[in-house]
Amino acid sequence: MAQAATINIGSRVRVARVRDRIPADLVEALRSDPSGTVKGFRTVDGQGIGVVVELSGGQTAWFFDDEITPA
């Protein structure tokens, strides 16, 4: 949550890692370009904050705040 407080909507970020399994098309999108733009936030598991990221290829997915870094 600490990092999510310093990231704003419109910030450029890079997906550094992914904790959970994700679809193959998202894996390929991240391999080609792991950067994107923050589009919003999402409450996850009642405690954490998820960051909704639009990748450069146009796909949108959410990531835990510890999975992204400022670009």
pLDDT tens digits along 9-41: 999 999 999 988 999 999 999 999 999 999 999
Q: Residue 60: count other Cβ atoms within 10 Å of its Cβ.
A: 12
Asked if 8 contacts 30 with a C-beta cutoff of 8 angstroms, the reply is no
Count of beta carbons in the 10 Å neighbourhood of residue 61: 18
The whole-number pLDDT of residue 1 equals 45
Q: What is the pTM of this model?
A: 0.87
Give the single-character DSSP code of 34.
-
Asked if 69 and 16 count as a contact pair (C-beta separation under 8 A), the reply is: yes
CATH numbers and ranges of domains, the chain: 4-70 (2.30.30)
Q: Which two tokens stand for residue 43?
A: 């409450």
Q: What's the chain's average pLDDT?
A: 90
| Residue % of the chain over a pLDDT of 70 | 93
